[in-house]
Structure 1
Amino acid sequence: MALAAKGLLPLLLLAGLLAVFLRFGPVGVFRASFPPIEELTFGRIAFPQPGLIRVHMVNGGPEPVTVAQVMLDDAYWEHTVVPDREVGRLDDIVIEIPYPWVDGDPLIVTVVSSTGVTFTQEVAVATQSPEINRSYVVTFALLGVYVGVVPVFLGLLWLPFLAGVSQRWIDFFLSFTVGLLLFLGVDALEGAFALTGRVAS
């Protein structure tokens, strides 16, 4: 028992020293000396219906951020914040703004925090966001069939043909495929080097 106490005593002293260091040492001084770091990231700006803008934001910084004002094209505008104006670390919010946006026009959205820090996002073209309905579901389902099912099915249709040809023709088709892939790879590298030269110049 005495041996265990002797082993735990240094650990307890170390924990106490660390607590004092973090509370009163350089880390605490640095935290008190510098202003809080605020960082709100725009996730999505949606236009669900005429006269309404919905802004999705995430707090990616280490400190909580309080939303104070919202500006649209440098003009303060009424808004509501869901669930709360104070955004904790890694929390997300939705800002709903009743605004008569014009289809096709650009728009600048600025969010102002309680400390005066601004977060700005520009929308190049304002247009109503698509809604998930039966037409969209059918369209994407058909797209998945065209991209994923049809090519595989067409490839399987070649199996009876390949089973009936000689080994020499199979070697020819494989060589042709490898050569085509090499050509595409070299062509892609050449295009990449050309674009790199343009960017560098």
Structure 2
Amino acid sequence: MRLPVWVLGVAVTAVIGLVLGVLAVFGAGTLPERAGPPIEELAVERTVLSPGVIELTVRNIGPDPVQVSQVFVNDAFVGFTGGGEPLERLRSTTLVLDYPWSDGSPYVVSMLTSTGLVIEHEIAAGVTTPPADADFFGRMVLIGTYIGIIPVLLGMLFLPVLRQARGRSVKILLALSVGVLVYLAIDATFEGFELAAGGAVFGGGLLVILGAAFAYLVLMGVDRWLRSRTAAARRDDAAGGMRLALLIAIGIGLHNMAEGLVIGSAYAVGELALGAALIIGFVINNVTEGVAIVAPLTDRRPTWLALLGLGLVAGAPAILGAVIGGAVNNPALAAVLFGLGIGAIAQVVVQILPSLREHGSRAFDARVLGGLALGVLLMYGTSLFSAA
């Protein structure tokens, strides 16, 4: 008599659980004690400065408990609260330092642990952290609107111009879109891995990879759903063009959410000065994203409402990113968001590339390759205007 599959699965799971339980109870006693001093590591996840006070949110990223006994700022002993008990692995606490810091001055905070280890954290310039009130979140919404929604919608205004293109020119425009997306993916990869260093305890660069894989698979599922939702979508070129435009908008939207998060975080800690020059720089850079969205629609007649929806899908996530970045400022979260953008963009590129090949061949026309290169160069050139 054959047992049902679920019964076998439960039995195997029970055996594994029993073995793990035995190892947990008796295994540690059979292993030798670790030699050497405790391994103590603290990561400062957030710094908040208010008049006369410095707040540090620290997390134990090492294997052993850490207790902060004394704190020095620029070699001067300061009183503090928090950290009275040993901090277990992955636990966090907030140290509140009583220190009359001066605006614009650099500071080095030295945390002395109970074992005598000194862990330092540098504050490049003292700047009052804006409170998370209605005015602050209003500013974050404006930032997201300026760098996300407005430039994308402006770029989509090129649709009538693109409609004048005929024949092979459409392929060149799609190739330009792919170049734009490739640049965004490469830029996000570098920035994501750089930010991931601050979230090493949660996986570091692995967070970027996992986020990219997750977004790739999810967007693939969305594409399959859109394809199978109606039989007409497989026959109607207009539906196919709108589907591709939507996928591009989703990919760009996830990238813009990560971009907004970094900008919001930088503003919250005083590392970013908002001004007309910076905003205009981001508009110039991100207008190209709007062009990429409407490139698949040159032979279609979408409604203004549909175009507005695509623009919001691509641009509005920058608002959410700016709000999260300004309020949370977590490097691990930033790494995941950049990974999501990378994976989504990669999936869209995979969708477009087959349509760029020569009929009956796996090769690309020289003009298509030129369009790819032009898209990358356009994004690189306009990105110089948005350097913060």
Equivalent residue, structure 1, for 2:279: none
Unaligned runs of 5+ in 2: 1-17, 177-367, 381-388
Equivalent residue, structure 1, for 2:296: none
What TM-score do the two structures reach when normalised by structure 2? 0.37
Give the alignment of 1:6-85 within 5 angstroms.
22-23=28-29, 25=30, 27=31, 29-31=32-34, 33-48=35-50, 50-81=51-82, 84-85=84-85
Distance 1:182 1:99, change over 3 A: same
Alpha-carbon distance in structure 2 between the residues aligned to 1:16 and 1:145: 57
RMSD over aligned CA atoms reads 3.3
Equivalent residue, structure 1, for 2:91: 91
1:106 aligns with 2:106: yes
Aligned partner letter, 1:128? T
Equivalent residue, structure 1, for 2:374: 183
Deviation at 1:143, TM superposition (A): 2.8
Deviation at 1:186, TM superposition (A): 6.5
For the residue of structure 2 that corresponds to 1:87, the secondary structure is coil
Deviation at 1:150, TM superposition (A): 2.9
Between 1:126-135 and 1:65-74, the stretch displaced more is: 126-135
Give the alignment of 1:138-149 within 5 angstroms.
138-149=138-149
Distance 1:19 1:55, change over 3 A: closer
Deviation at 1:135, TM superposition (A): 3.2
For the residue of structure 1 that corresponds to 2:130, the secondary structure is coil
Deviation at 1:153, TM superposition (A): 3.3
Give the alignment of 1:153-172 within 5 angstroms.
153-159=153-159, 165=164, 167-168=166-167, 171-172=168-169
Aligned partner letter, 2:41? E
For the residue of structure 1 that corresponds to 2:169, the secondary structure is helix
Alpha-carbon distance in structure 2 between the residues aligned to 1:16 and 1:70: 43
Answer with 1 or 2: which has the greater Rg.
Answer: 1
Name the count of aligned residue pairs.
168
Alpha-carbon distance in structure 2 between the residues aligned to 1:109 and 1:188: 39
Distance 1:115 1:105, change over 3 A: same
Bigger relative contact order, structure 1 or 2, given CA contacts below 8 A and separation 6+?
Answer: 2
Alpha-carbon distance in structure 2 between the residues aligned to 1:112 and 1:45: 18
Distance 1:30 1:129, change over 3 A: same
Alpha-carbon distance in structure 2 between the residues aligned to 1:123 and 1:138: 27
For the residue of structure 1 that corresponds to 2:67, the secondary structure is strand
Contact 1:68–1:85 (Cα < 8 Å) also in 2: no
Deviation at 1:40, TM superposition (A): 1.3
Unaligned runs of 5+ in 1: 1-11, 190-201
Identity %: 32
Q: Deviations over 1:162-195 (max 9, x none)?
A: 66x4734xx4365364535413547999xxxxxx
Which is richer in helix? 2
Deviation at 1:131, TM superposition (A): 1.8
For the residue of structure 1 that corresponds to 2:140, the secondary structure is helix
Alpha-carbon distance in structure 2 between the residues aligned to 1:159 and 1:72: 57
